[in-house]
Amino acid sequence: MEMQQIRYFVALAETLNFTRAAEQCNVSQPALTRAIQQLEHELGGPLFHRERNNTHLSELGRMMMPYLQSVADSARAAKVAALSAKKAENVTLTLGAMCTIGPELVADLIIRFQAAHPDVAVKVVDGEARSMIDALEKGDLHLSLVGVPEDLPDQFHQLPIFEERFVIALPPGHRWAERNAIRVADLDGEPYVSRSTCEVFKTVAREFASRGVMPKKVFSSPRDEWVQKMIKAGLGFGFFPEHSVTDPDLIVRPLIEPEYSRTVYLATMRGRPHSPAVGAFVREARRHEWPALAA
C-alpha cells in the first residue's frame, strides 16, 4: 500500500467523482483509476461501486475509510510538523543547565531568545554536571550549559560564554564582613557548609590540603537554597560561583591567594545534525550580554 494510493482513495471518497478527485490530486484520471484498482486488489475487494452517474463507497470502502483517512491526516500533520521544524516554528528546544549555574543568568538568556523566536518553546533541565553531559551525549538534550574542571571529550563542541570567579558566602554580621576579600589560609578550621553538587570543590579541597588548609564541614546538601539558608543562619561559610549566590542577605567576598574561577560553555554534540532552533539559540547565546569577570 502506497501513500499516493491512500491519498487518491480519500479524495475519491470525498468527491465520489473520478474526474474531480484526479484534479484535486493533480494527476490524470487513468492514473488515479489504476491506483484505486491496485489498492482494491491489495485489500481484496472493490472499494467503490461504479455506476453510470453514481459512484459510491462499497461496504469494504466504508470499513476502510476511517483507517485510510487517519493515515492521510497523519501524513499531512507530519509534513506540517517537518516544515515547522525546518522554519524553527512550534518546536521545543531542550536546554540542559548545571544546577550550579545561577538561574538568573539562564532566565535572562531564555527571555531574550523567546522574544526573538516566539514559536520555539524552551524546556530547561537542570542537574549535576555529569548527568547533563550524559544526557547531551544520549540526545536527550539539544545543548547544555556546562563548566567542569576537566576538558570535555572531543565529541563535544564547546562555545565559551562567560567566566566567573568563586567566592566565599558569609552570614550577616560575620567577623569577616568588613574585609574586602578572604584568603584561602583564613579558611583553615572554619565551619564549612558544603554544596555537594559543586563540580570543582574536590579539586579545590586537594589544593587546600596541600597548603595545610582544612575547613571543617558541618553541613552538606545538593540544594543551593538549603546551603544558603544554613549559611544565613550562621552555621558556617560557603564556597560558590559568584553568580550562584541568590540570597541578598548573604555577604559575598572574593577568595584570594589563590583565586579560583571557571569558564561556562554552551556545549553541543560535534557532527550531530542540529535543527534551526539550535542554531538560533547558539547565535543568541553569542550575542547575549554575559557577566564579565571582575578585575
Does the pLDDT at position 219 exceed 60?
yes
Mean pLDDT of the chain: 88
User: Which residue, 105, 104, 122, is CA-closest to 113?
Assistant: 122
Measured between alpha carbons, how far is 9 from 276 in angstroms, rounded to an integer?
36
Measured between alpha carbons, how far is 184 from 213 in angstroms, rounded to an integer?
7
Does the pLDDT at position 88 exceed 70?
no
Note the pTM of the prediction, 2 decimals: 0.64
Percent of the chain with pLDDT over 90: 46
Measured between alpha carbons, how far is 245 from 261 in angstroms, rounded to an integer?
15
User: Which residue, 151, 172, 180, is CA-closest to 265?
Assistant: 151
pLDDT at 90: 56
pLDDT digits (tens, 9 = 90+) for 25-77: 999 999 999 999 999 999 999 999 887 778 889 999 999 999 999 988 888 87
Among 66-70, 90-94, 247-251, where is mean pLDDT lowest? 90-94
Side chain identity, residue 179: R
Which residue is associated with the grid cell 555577604? 251
Sorted by where each starts, the structural domains of the chain and their CATH numbers stand as 3-86 (1.10.10.10), 91-162+263-287 (3.40.190.10), 163-262 (3.40.190.10)
pLDDT at 191: 96
pLDDT at 83: 62
Which residue is associated with the grid cell 538534550? 141
**pLDDT, average across residues 83-97:** 70
**Residue, of 152 and 10, whose pLDDT is higher:** 10
Angstrom CA distances, 261 to 60, 78, 92, 240, 293, stand at: 72, 47, 33, 10, 9
Measured between alpha carbons, how far is 97 from 131 in angstroms, rounded to an integer?
10
